[in-house]
């Protein structure tokens, strides 16, 4: 039996890892792996699918591929969702010095990979971006609506990173692993825009270049980008601006809580008009319940979009939300009252302290009991 020499061991370390986040891409993974193998002929590569436990069995399909070709690997995350965080996890799961991130539906042109690799090495770049908006690139047949939405998001993105990057929204790029290792703890990992996250987190401007490609038609399955992705984008930008200390979900939760005050008044006022002030207790109770309910649904739709409750879980979620917020309201009133009477704080500060304690309580408890884990559906 011969033992492997150090040299033969070192050449088994891939030079390039291609990270592919997937959610319900069972119909595309095989074709993607086939094309990657062809286009990266002569390169030491590995292909890492990061799947969020897709109900269509993408992870198992990818594992089948990996049984035939050990260069293909699978990370299956259970109870987690999110494109950016999946990419980060994949990038940390390899020892390759170059990392490419690419969609799993074949919309990104894999034949660009060898040119990206050559550019990043030969031109001593830190990151190479597959770009739809430099000469020679394109978006194929997008609807006018998607086109203009992409334009607006791109402008905002360019503002954030203050870099002359034509396509900061691209999800197709190749980066040196050292760049990721240096900034990974400060990435938000929120939403879809991992490239923007990297550029805005890096301490100094990255040496980059954009290579054109044409965004192709989806191979199979359907897009996971819907309208609420815009909201996730805003969350990511906000998180970037307020820093890591305050969780962005708390901000969203508080904004929705503030809206609840308007809902409350919109119910209370007409009820008092109809029933008279003798029915204040009834009206106030009804308004509170309606406001809590609308807050619950808004949070379910926006703040916890990635963990959205559906069907029967909605009922239990609503119930735990109402119970939690009722306790929060008691704490709010109790503390404000104490500060006002015993602590001799002014009415404004007393009220503010009560509201803050109530909000933190509501947020912390519902984060644990109401929205527990991502829903897979």
Stretch that binds ligand GDD, among 4-12, 220-228, 323-331, 347-355 (CB under 6 A): 220-228
Nearer to Mn ion, 85 or 370 (CB): 85
Query: Could you give the string, one character per residue 148-177, with x where binding to ligand GDD holds by CB under 6 A and - elsewhere?
Result: --x------------------xxx------
d(CA 31, CA 125): 30
- Look at residue 179 and give the partner it binds from ligand GDD, Mn ion, none, a contact being a CB closer than 5 to 8 Å depending on partner kind: none
**What is the nearest approach in angstroms of ligand GDD to the Cβ of residue 336?**
41
305: Cα separation from own chain's centroid: 10
325-352 b/e (C-beta count within 10 Å ≥ 16 → b): beebbebbeebbeebbeeeebeeeebbe
Q: Which residue, judged by CB position, is nearest to ligand GDD in the bound state?
A: 171
Of 211, 170, 28, 205, residue with least CA distance to 87? 170
Choices 103-111, 115-123, 280-288, 355-363 (CB under 6 A): range interacting with ligand GDD? 103-111
| 19 bridge partner residues | 48, 101
| Identity of the residue, 15 or 56, whose beta carbon is nearer to ligand GDD in the bound complex | 56
Tokens 């984008």 sit at which residue? 233
- Position among 46, 105, 126, 210 found at the interface with ligand GDD (CB under 6 A): 105
Considering beta carbons, is residue 95 or 143 the nearer one to ligand GDD?
143
Using the rule CB under 6 A, which residue among 59, 65, 86, 91 binds ligand GDD? 86
Asked if 275 is part of the footprint of ligand GDD (rule: CB under 6 A), the reply reads no
Q: Name which of ligand GDD, Mn ion, none residue 192 binds, using a CB cut-off of 5 to 8 Å depending on partner kind.
A: ligand GDD
Please list, residue by residue across 166-198, b when 16 or more beta carbons sit within 10 angstroms of its beta carbon and e when fewer do.
bbbbbbbbbbbbebbeebeeebbbbbbbbbbbb
Q: How many other CB atoms sit within 10 Å of the CB of residue 298?
A: 18
Among 33, 40, 48, 52, contact with ligand GDD (rule: CB under 6 A)? 52
By CB under 6 A, is residue 91 in contact with ligand GDD? no
Chain-centroid distance of CA 16 in Å reads 25
- 130: tokens are 């597959």
Q: In what helix (H) or strand (E) does residue 199 lie, and over which residues does it extend?
A: helix 194-201
What six digits make up the tokens of 345?
């704080």
Name which position in 18, 40, 50, 248 contacts ligand GDD (CB under 6 A).
50
**With respect to ligand GDD, which residue has the nearer C-beta, 46 or 105?**
105
* Nearby residues of 324 by Cβ (< 8 Å), 6 or more positions away: 361, 362, 365, 366, 369, 370
| Contact of residue 109 among ligand GDD, Mn ion, none (CB under 5-8 Å per partner type) | none
* DSSP bridge partners of 128: 174, 209
Q: Which stretch binds ligand GDD (CB under 6 A): 18-26, 37-45, 290-298, 321-329?
A: 18-26
Binding site residues, Mn ion, CB under 5 A:
103, 105, 107
Question: Strand pairing partners for 98?
Answer: 16, 176
Q: Is 225 in the site for ligand GDD (CB under 6 A)?
A: yes
Q: Which region, judged by CB under 6 A, interacts with ligand GDD, from 16-24, 272-280, 293-301, 346-354?
A: 16-24
Residue pair 256/299 in contact (Cβ under 8 Å)? The answer is yes
Assess contact for 160 and 240: CB atoms under 8 A: yes
Which residues, 122 to 151, sit near ligand GDD by CB under 6 A?
Answer: 150
Which residue among 148, 223, 273, 285 contacts ligand GDD (CB under 6 A)? 223
Span near ligand GDD by CB under 6 A; candidates 6-14, 109-117, 222-230, 255-263: 222-230
Q: What is the CA radius of gyration of the chain?
A: 25
Residue 104 contacts ligand GDD per CB under 6 A: yes
Supply the minimum distance, in Å, between the C-beta of residue 314 and Mn ion.
Answer: 29
The encoded tokens of residue 258 equal 């503030």
Two tokens, residue 76: 């299956």
Q: Nearest distance from residue 44's CB to ligand GDD, in Å? A: 24
Please report, as ranges, the residues that interact with ligand GDD according to CB under 6 A: 21-23, 25, 50-52, 81-83, 86, 103-105, 107, 150, 169-171, 192, 223-225
């Amino acid at each position: 039996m011969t033992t492997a020499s150090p040299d033969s061991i070192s050449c088994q370390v891939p030079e390039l890892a291609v990270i592919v986040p997937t959610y319900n891409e069972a119909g595309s993974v095989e074709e993607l792996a086939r094309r990657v193998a062809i286009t990266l002929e002569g390169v030491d590569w590995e292909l890492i699918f990061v799947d969020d436990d897709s109900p269509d069995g993408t992870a198992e399909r990818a594992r089948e591929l990996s049984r035939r070709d050990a260069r293909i690997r699978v990370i299956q995350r259970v109870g987690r969702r999110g494109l950016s965080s999946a990419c980060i996890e994949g990038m940390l799961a390899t020892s390759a010095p170059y990392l490419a991130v690419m969609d799993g539906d074949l919309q990104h042109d894999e034949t660009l990979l060898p040119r990206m690799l050559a550019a990043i090495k030969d031109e001593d770049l830190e990151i190479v971006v597959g770009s739809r908006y430099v000469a020679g690139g394109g978006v194929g047949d997008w609807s006018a609506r998607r086109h203009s939405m992409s334009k607006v998001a791109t402008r905002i993105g360019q503002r954030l990173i203050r870099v002359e990057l034509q396509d900061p929204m691209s999800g197709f790029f190749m980066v040196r692993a050292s760049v990721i290792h240096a900034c990974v703890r400060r990435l938000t990992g929120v939403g879809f825009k991992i490239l923007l996250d990297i550029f805005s987190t890096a301490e100094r401007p990255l040496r980059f270049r954009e290579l054109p490609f044409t965004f192709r038609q989806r191979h199979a399955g359907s897009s996971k980008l819907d309208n609420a992705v815009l909201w996730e984008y805003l969350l990511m930008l906000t998180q970037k601006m307020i820093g890591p200390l305050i969780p962005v979900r708390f901000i969203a939760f508080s904004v929705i809580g503030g809206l609840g005050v308007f809902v409350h008044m919109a119910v209370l006022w007409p009820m008092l008009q109809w029933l008279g002030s003798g029915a204040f207790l009834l009206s106030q109770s009804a308004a509170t319940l309606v406001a809590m309910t609308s807050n619950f649904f808004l949070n379910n739709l926006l703040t916890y979009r990635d963990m959205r409750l559906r069907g029967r879980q909605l009922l239990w979620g609503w119930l735990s939300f109402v119970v939690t917020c009722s306790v929060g309201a008691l704490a709010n009133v109790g503390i404000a009252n104490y500060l006002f009477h015993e602590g001799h704080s002014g009415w404004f500060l007393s009220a503010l302290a009560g509201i803050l304690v109530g909000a933190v309580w509501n947020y912390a408890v519902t984060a644990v009991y109401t929205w527990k884990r991502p829903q897979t559906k």
